């Protein structure tokens, strides 16, 4: 392992556990983000299985309605706030300083604070299961009046407090990323030579900075209504219940881009490496990312079409417009693969899984943007199918692609390819078995957030298929966990650059030393390591001709 001259000798009396608990190294913090997120992914997955088993046939089988409500609420809360968002922040933490040629994040101690707020917030949220009346149960959106003090207990207060801490963690992380990106780039690393992942983290951080505080304000108003006799969302006393939805979705729609943009960044790092081509249309991709971020603030009310309290044509039009920059990216990715020398290693499999599944999620989302269609499918399983195709088919596939791609850098050892492919095939099949039938169920009128349905409704077979698919997804996690455990001890030694990568993390050792680099290759394009490997430091800087 290379050492930087900056590496201060660690005092011998400190245990490695102490090192991890007190570290301000962005790489260790990034890895802790990943581990914490995977743990909540497993917890959320178990809750999803509870939901799926309950729905596998008509009638109430294993839980009562009250616990069912807690299960789907906490499933979504864990997956969105404690898995997808933090795990992408974890990749950002690990990779962004390496990509920029920086020794660490701009504020390493604030970085540690951002991380440690997460398990704390998650524990607060999860502790609702121990409270009287159980955990939060009004759905992850927690609309009043259902989330008001009249209908829900202390679990909701714990949920609010936990989510406020998680949001604070996000905001501090976003500030850290932005200052790092603007101020810590190595000499030669201009904005338009930054890897695409860094661009997506930049736009995501702006979204977090502008949207997450608004969620905090919504949560605080809800808390005041619940505990101090406030009337923000209480129509009986001059309040406005739809106000909550407006403030909530002003955060939560940009939040879906917070959950997908860094995943798109991961894909855009993987595809060029395994196609042995530069990313097609670098600048178009950057501008499309910025456009998605900007448009993301003008579409929130498409979640509220059926309230009758929003201006439908505007929000419908803006929602359709988002398909344009997203389509640009789709063609960026396809053109990157086109005539590339594809090597189907596990990261590329996940990237192609992302492309195909996210495409379905994008298309079924565009249908929902049409007002008359939305009125028909609002709050049906169609919406559940859509969210899972973009967030599971999209983000989760990208997350696993990223794990297989960067695991060698993080640990110095390769993950096993065969187990990786087994996991991918199981997950791909299980995912489609679970979520594709939900389109049909939605069109047949099955509402979401119900524990039971009539046997005569004709929904039983598709629900059973979906439940079996859910267990296939769960099974796909076993080869993954086994793979990680075995490879950590006895995986093939990776070397500095096992994939022949393009970006700066491959120019240092695996794992990188504290403060990352002894020296950097000259940065003359967005592929400095490629340039160094092939002795063409003057390599092309634009995509239009080479």
Chain position carrying tokens 């996000």: 170
- Choosing from 57, 63, 67, 107, the residue that interacts with other proteins (CB under 8 A) is 107
Tell me the β-bridge partners of 135: 155
Using rule CB under 8 A, residue 308 touches other proteins: no
- Choosing from 218, 255, 263, 377, the residue that interacts with other proteins (CB under 8 A) is 218
Give the nearest distance from C-beta 204 to other proteins in angstroms: 14
Span interacting with other proteins, options 242-250, 267-275, 336-344, 418-426, rule CB under 8 A = 242-250
Among residue numbers 315 through 334, which ones bind other proteins (CB under 8 A)? none
Which CB sits closer to other proteins, 9 or 372? 9
Give the nearest distance from C-beta 117 to other proteins in angstroms: 15
Which CB sits closer to other proteins, 170 or 352? 170
Using rule CB under 8 A, residue 241 touches other proteins: no
Tell me the β-bridge partners of 413: 493
CA 296 to chain centre: 16
- Site track 491-520 with other proteins (rule: CB under 8 A), x = hit: ----------------x-------x-xxxx
Using rule CB under 8 A, residue 299 touches other proteins: no
Give the nearest distance from C-beta 145 to other proteins in angstroms: 15
Using rule CB under 8 A, residue 113 touches other proteins: no
Burial grade of 239 (CB within 10 A; 0-12, 13-18, 19 or more): middle
Span interacting with other proteins, options 108-116, 255-263, 395-403, 412-420, rule CB under 8 A = 108-116
Which CB sits closer to other proteins, 225 or 416? 225
Angle at 58 between CA 57 and CA 61, to 5 degrees: 75
Span interacting with other proteins, options 100-108, 275-283, 341-349, 413-421, rule CB under 8 A = 100-108
- Choosing from 243, 312, 366, 425, the residue that interacts with other proteins (CB under 8 A) is 243
Dihedral sign computed on CA atoms, order 402, 406, 408, 412: negative
- Helices 417-443, 346-369: axis angle to 10 degrees equals 10
Using rule CB under 8 A, residue 526 touches other proteins: no
Using rule CB under 8 A, residue 373 touches other proteins: no
Among residue numbers 245 through 284, which ones bind other proteins (CB under 8 A)? 246-247, 250
Which CB sits closer to other proteins, 372 or 535? 535
Span interacting with other proteins, options 211-219, 257-265, 327-335, 377-385, rule CB under 8 A = 211-219
Using rule CB under 8 A, residue 432 touches other proteins: no
CA-CA distance, 109 to 106, in Å (whole number)?
9
CA 467 to chain centre: 23
Q: What is the DSSP string of 34-88?
A: HHHHHHHHHHHHHHHHHHHHHHSSSS--SS-HHHHHHHHHHHHHIIIIIIIHHHH
Q: Where are the alpha helices (DSSP H) in 184-281?
A: 196-227, 241-275
Among residue numbers 378 through 397, which ones bind other proteins (CB under 8 A)? none
Using rule CB under 8 A, residue 182 touches other proteins: yes
Using rule CB under 8 A, residue 230 touches other proteins: yes
Which CB sits closer to other proteins, 55 or 163? 163
Contacts of 432 (CB under 8 A, 6+ apart): 357, 469
Tell me the β-bridge partners of 380: 447
- Choosing from 139, 153, 239, 445, the residue that interacts with other proteins (CB under 8 A) is 239
Using rule CB under 8 A, residue 455 touches other proteins: no
Contacts of 535 (CB under 8 A, 6+ apart): none
- Contact call for residues 336 and 272 (beta carbons, < 8 A): yes
Q: Which two tokens stand for residue 16?
A: 């490695």
Give the nearest distance from C-beta 509 to other proteins in angstroms: 12
Using rule CB under 8 A, residue 217 touches other proteins: yes
Span interacting with other proteins, options 36-44, 195-203, 234-242, 442-450, rule CB under 8 A = 234-242
Dihedral sign computed on CA atoms, order 184, 189, 193, 197: negative
Give the nearest distance from C-beta 185 to other proteins in angstroms: 7
CA-CA distance, 283 to 294, in Å (whole number)?
16
Q: What is the 3-state secondary structure (H, E, C) of 113-175?
A: HHHHHHHHHHHHHHHHHHCCCCECCCCCCCCCCCCCCCCCCHHHHHHHHHHHHHHHHHHHHHH
CA-CA distance, 519 to 530, in Å (whole number)?
16
Interface ranges with other proteins (CB under 8 A): 5-6, 24, 101-110, 171, 174-176, 178-179, 182-188, 209-214, 216-218, 220-221, 224-225, 228-232, 237-240, 243, 246-247, 250, 507, 515, 517-522, 532, 535, 537
């Amino acid at each position: 392992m290379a050492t930087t001259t900056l590496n201060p000798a660690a005092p011998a009396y400190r245990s490695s556990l102490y090192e991890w608990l007190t570290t301000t190294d962005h790489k260790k913090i990034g890895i802790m983000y990943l581990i914490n997120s995977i743990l909540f992914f497993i917890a959320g997955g178990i809750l999803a299985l509870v939901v799926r088993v309950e729905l596998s046939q008509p009638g109430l089988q294993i839980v009562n309605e009250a616990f069912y409500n807690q299960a789907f609420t906490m499933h979504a809360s864990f997956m969105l706030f404690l898995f997808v968002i933090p795990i992408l922040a974890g990749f950002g933490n690990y990779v962004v300083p390496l990509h920029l040629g920086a020794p660490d994040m701009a504020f390493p101690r604030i970085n540690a604070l951002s991380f440690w707020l997460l398990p704390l917030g998650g524990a607060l949220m999860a502790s609702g299961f121990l409270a009287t009346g159980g955990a939060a149960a009004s759905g992850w959106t927690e609309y009043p009046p259902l989330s008001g003090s009249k209908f829900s207990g202390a679990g909701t207060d714990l949920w609010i407090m936990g989510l406020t801490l998680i949001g604070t963690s996000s905001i501090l992380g976003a500030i850290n990323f932005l200052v790092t990106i603007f101020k810590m780039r190595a000499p030669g690393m201009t904005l338009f030579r930054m890897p695409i992942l860094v661009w997506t983290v930049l736009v995501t951080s702006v979204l977090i900075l502008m949207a997450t505080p608004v969620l905090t304000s919504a949560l605080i108003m809800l808390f005041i209504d619940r505990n101090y006799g406030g009337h923000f969302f209480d129509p009986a006393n001059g309040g406005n219940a739809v106000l909550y939805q407006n403030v909530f979705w002003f955060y939560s729609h940009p939040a879906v881009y917070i959950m997908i943009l860094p995943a798109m960044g991961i894909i855009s790092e993987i595809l060029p490496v395994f196609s042995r081509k530069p990313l097609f249309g670098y600048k178009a991709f950057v501008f499309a990312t910025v456009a998605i971020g900007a448009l993301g603030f003008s579409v929130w009310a498409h979640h509220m079409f059926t309230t009758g309290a929003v201006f439908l044509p505007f929000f419908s039009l803006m929602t359709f417009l988002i398909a344009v920059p997203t389509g640009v990216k789709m063609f960026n990715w396809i053109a990157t693969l086109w005539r590339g020398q594809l090597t189907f290693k596990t990261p590329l499999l996940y990237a192609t899984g992302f492309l195909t599944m996210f495409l379905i999620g994008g298309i079924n989302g565009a249908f929902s943007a049409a007002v008359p269609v939305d009125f028909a499918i609002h709050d049906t399983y169609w919406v559940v199918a859509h969210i899972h195709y973009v967030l599971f088919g999209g983000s989760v596939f990208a997350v696993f692609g990223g794990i297989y791609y960067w695991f060698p850098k993080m640990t110095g050892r390769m993950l096993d390819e065969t187990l990786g492919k087994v996991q991918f095939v199981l997950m791909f099949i299980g995912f489609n078995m679970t979520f594709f039938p939900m389109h049909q169920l939605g069109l047949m009128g099955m509402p979401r957030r119900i524990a039971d349905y009539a046997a005569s409704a004709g929904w039983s077979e598709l629900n059973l298929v979906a439940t079996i698919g859910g267990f296939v997804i769960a099974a796909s996690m076993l080869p993954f966990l086994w793979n990680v455990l075995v490879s950590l001890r006895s995986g093939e030694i990776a070397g500095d650059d096992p994939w022949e990568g393009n970006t700066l993390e491959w120019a240092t050792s695996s794992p990188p030393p504290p403060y990352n680099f002894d020296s950097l290759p000259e940065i003359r394009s967005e592929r400095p390591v490629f340039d160094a490997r092939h002795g063409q430091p003057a390599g092309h800087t634009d995509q239009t001709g080479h």
